[in-house]
Structure formats: structure tokens, C-alpha cells
Amino acid sequence: MPATLSHALHRLAMPVLGVALLGGGWALSGQPRTAQPAFQRAWWYWHHPFRLSAAEVRDLKRSGCARLYVHAGTLMARGGSLELTSPQRFASDAPCPLYAVLRVHPGAHPLLLSPAGPSQVARLLRAARLPAAVQGVQLDADIPTARLADYARLLDGVRRELPTGWCLSVTALPDWLGTRGYARVCDAVDEVAPQFYGNRWPIAGRKPPPLWETAELARGVERATAGRARAWIGLPSYGRCVVLDPHGQPIGVRHDLDPEDLMQAADWTVRSAATRTGEELAVEDGLTLRASTDTLAGSLAVASGTSLWFQWPRIDALQRTERELADQHDPRLAGVCYFRWPAPGEPLALRSQPHTEAKPTGTLALTFQQSADGARLVVRNDGIDAPRLPDGIRVTLTGELADLEIEAAEYRCGDAPCSPLRADRALCSRTLLRPGSQWIVCRLPHAGARLSAHVMWSDGQGAPHALTAALPPEERTR
């Protein structure tokens, strides 16, 4: 986390601490101080239907998930009234409370903010057949900042229509924070969830924007709390792929493409790779692939020159951010809410999640796997993040090189390129190895081959790491 975030949060917490100390532990009103609300963790659940496997239920319990904000449908304007489209089908129970999220299409804003808006929202909620586990509703509407006062009036009306005990929540755009309208909205709801991710769209010909706004996060958190509402800080726990046409114009976002699979295809080449850093640590990985011919990106036909720009946050940065927020002990911060719980089989889902147990930095495993017909050298990523980009993983092989089955290797004798027969070493590399993935570096055709491997990479902070292994097995070292 950037140092500015830690410092800003410390300043934010100090007034709260000062009030707590006055009167020997009594609040200024003279009433006994209540227990500090717990800092919690939640997720948005955006895919359909709502169905949790037994493994997902166990994972949610282990994560300490306090609630799930489930996409219950999207409000559209149809024939002069609001209609709930893409209604959620709740196909399983959940191990935690649920909150129904109503996404609002921009075209429905005028009807939503009209005098009839509250009653129409209430009517749709009653007709949605929500399960008993639902304890509140969240409106997800990108209302223009100039109309936040109207939005607050709508929320006042919706609150009066809700069942007793239900929580009213809204998502919030960074542009709202610090405005009078935002303070009014916060007074009208129980919770607000400002989203610090995915707010900037790529512009043709410019460097792609960050997936999450770490540079502005400190200032945003300072302004996130206003009025009576407690704030959930929205952070990303997903990857995305922006598709750029041959002219560099963004044409769509995909979540069904696997960058590691595409990197093995001959018609995609790595155009750029980088790990973005804040002031103290790496926060995000980015990879751009370019089509060298007309080809396919999954099921999508693309022209030569099309680019796929992949982004995903680094788990270490998300964990550090969550710890820093929790350590402020600010009762106005309810917790963090991650977008989003991964869909089954989603290639760009993060292989680790923010609640995954932290592991030593740079956790790679290097093994020779032997069989009756030979052996293979395998590098496996057992960590929570990929090695730092663009360097990725570099491997130097020495020993019996002539019979190696290996792709894209450079053979050297001294400093000069040469054939495998004359080489004293072979060099190969891989740009990206995501958590849980493995790379078969090479295969040896017979079990008695002699080979040594030296693997080098850097972790997110740029610290170098290395592993060495050898065949026969008794020569292996680490």
C-alpha cells in the first residue's frame, strides 16, 4: 500500500481516538462507550444463477465473509415504468446473510428519480421472490453528481417502503466523494460502498489506466465516510481483458480468456508486460498480447493487430490494504467489499483471494519428475502472486543438452550462440506464471540423463529469488 494511504488513514482515525479518551472512556454525550464494530469482509456476487458449491461454502466460511451482495437484477425503463430484468435465480442457500443488489441502467435514471420511484422500487422488490436470507437492498446506480440531492430524496422514500429491519445501501462513484450531495446520500442510507476499481476506461493511443485507484485511495478513504452511513471500501478481486482493435481503439471487455493459454499459441505475441507499483509495494500486473494474424480470441474472431490487454490486482497488495484499513479501528469503516466472487471456471478469476493464507514471497517450486521413459523439469507457482513482470522466470540449464525436448531455448557456448551439440548451457524464460500454474520447462528422453537447472525470478517488491535442482536426484540441491 502506498505510504500516503497509511498516513492518511492514521490522520482519519485520530479524531475518533480523541473522543474516546475524553471523560475516562465515556462519549461526549455522557453515555457509556459501545463496543467497537468489527471490521468485516464481504463480496459482491454477480453471476447467475446464485449457486454455491460445497467447496465454495467452505471457502466463504474460512474467509470470514460477513455477507454477500448478490446481483438480484437490473432496473430498466420500459413503457413509462421500471422493470426488473435479468432477475436472479437463487438456487442454493448461503452461509451468511444476503443483500439484494439492484443495478440501475442509466436509461432508467429519470424514472428512478421521479416521485413514483420509491413505490416502483418497492413493488419490484416484493415481486422478486427474494429468499429469507436477504436482509437488505443495495442500489447500484451511476447517478450524475449534480443529481445526488434527487437521489437522496429517492433513497428517503425507498427506506420508508422497506421491510422492518432491512438495511439500505448504495454503491458510490469516486467523483461523488466530498460533495454536499454525497453527504446527503449518506444521511439517507445505512451503508455506502465507494468503488475504487474499474472507473477509468482506456483511451486509444494512451497508456492503459490502472484497474484500481491506489494513487487516489488514501484521499478517497478519507472522504468515504459522511453522514450516518458506514462505509464499505470496494476493492477488486477479479481480472479483466480489454480488447483493442488494430487501431488501438477499445472495443470491449472479456472475462473468458486465459492469457497463459494464448501465450502458448503461435499467433499471439507478448507486446508488453509490467508490474505496476505503488510507493511501497507492487499492486497490479498487466500483460498485452497482440495478434500476428487473423485469428481467434476464445470464440471471438479478431483481425491481425488486435491487442488483448490483461490486468489483475496482486493479492499481496489487497491483503496489505485490508490490514491497513482494519488497523485504523475507525467505527465509520464497516469493512472491505470485494468485486467479485469468481464465477465457476472463469479463466481470469484470481487463483488466490484476499483471504488466502499469506505465503513467503516468491514461492516457486522446482522439481524433476521422473518416469520409465525419461524425466521432465517442472516449475510450479505455489505462491499467491505471479513473479514480477516483465522479467518473469529465467532458467539456465547445463549438462546433457543435445537431446533435450525444449521450446524457444537459446543455446550458448561461452557468450556466443551455438548449436545444442556444442552448447555449455541453454537459456529459456517465461513471462507469466500465475498462482497454481506449472511450466514444463523441458523433457529428457531417458531417465539416466544428467542435467542441472538454475531458476531465477523476482517477487513483487523486486527482491531476487533463485532455486537449483539437478539430475540424478541425489545431486539435487535447493
Q: Are 143 and 171 a contacting pair, CB within 8 Å? A: no
pLDDT at 3 over 60: no
Of the candidates 239, 268, 270, the one whose C-alpha atom is nearest the C-alpha of residue 256 is 239
- What's the distance, CA 237 to chain centroid? 2
> Can you give the pLDDT at residue 12?
38
- What's the distance, CA 209 to chain centroid? 15
**Averaged pLDDT score across all residues of the chain:** 89
> Can you give the pLDDT at residue 207?
78
Mean pLDDT (whole number) for 389-393:
96
Contacts of 223 (CB under 8 A, 6+ apart): 177, 178, 182
> Can you give the pLDDT at residue 473?
60
Contacts of 215 (CB under 8 A, 6+ apart): 2, 278
> Can you give the pLDDT at residue 203?
85
pLDDT at 299 over 70: yes
Task: Quick: pLDDT tens for 414-465.
Answer: 999 999 999 999 999 999 999 999 999 999 887 677 899 999 999 988 999 9
Residues forming a β-bridge with 468: 454
| Residue 229, CA distances (Å) to 191, 237, 425, 442 in order | 5, 24, 63, 57
The pLDDT confidence band at residue 118, using thresholds 50, 70 and 90, is very high
- State how far the Cα of 445 lies from the Cα of 62, in Å rounded to an integer: 44
The pLDDT confidence band at residue 477, using thresholds 50, 70 and 90, is very low
| Residue 437, CA distances (Å) to 58, 142, 272, 358, 464 in order | 23, 38, 21, 17, 20
- State how far the Cα of 210 lies from the Cα of 187, in Å rounded to an integer: 31
Task: Compute the C-alpha angle 343/43/329, nearest 5°.
Answer: 155
> Can you give the pLDDT at residue 354?
82
- State how far the Cα of 258 lies from the Cα of 273, in Å rounded to an integer: 15
| Residue 309, CA distances (Å) to 207, 211, 352, 474 in order | 11, 11, 21, 44
- State how far the Cα of 7 lies from the Cα of 327, in Å rounded to an integer: 12
Q: How many CB atoms lie within 10 A of CB 451?
A: 22
What structural domains and CATH numbers belong to the chain? 3-235+312-339 (3.20.20.80), 364-475 (2.60.40)
The whole model's pTM is what? 0.89
pLDDT at 401 over 60: yes
The pLDDT confidence band at residue 374, using thresholds 50, 70 and 90, is confident
For residue 107, the number of C-alpha atoms closer than 13 Å in the C-beta half-sphere is 9
Instruction: Name the one residue in this structure whose C-alpha cell is 454525550.
Output: 29
> Can you give the pLDDT at residue 35?
60
Contacts of 163 (CB under 8 A, 6+ apart): none
Task: Quick: pLDDT tens for 352-367.
Answer: 888 777 665 568 999 9
Between the ranges 25-29, 211-215, 417-421, where is the mean pLDDT highest?
A: 417-421
191 phi and psi, to 5 degrees?
Answer: -140, 150
Dmax of the chain from CA atoms?
86
Cell numbers at 476, concatenated: 539435487
Cell numbers at 221, concatenated: 478513504
Task: Quick: pLDDT tens for 282-295.
Answer: 999 999 999 999 99
Of the candidates 84, 105, 98, the one whose C-alpha atom is nearest the C-alpha of residue 137 is 98
Mean pLDDT (whole number) for 69-83:
97
Higher per-residue pLDDT: 403 or 150 = 150
User: Which H or E run contains 315?
Assistant: helix 315-326
Cell numbers at 27, concatenated: 462519549
249 phi and psi, to 5 degrees?
Answer: -85, 125
Cell numbers at 175, concatenated: 467523483
| Residue 346, CA distances (Å) to 49, 74, 151, 434 in order | 15, 22, 35, 14
Q: Are 186 and 229 a contacting pair, CB within 8 Å? A: yes
Helix or strand or coil: residue 87?
A: coil
Mean pLDDT (whole number) for 340-351:
90
Task: Quick: pLDDT tens for 166-186.
Answer: 999 999 999 999 999 999 999
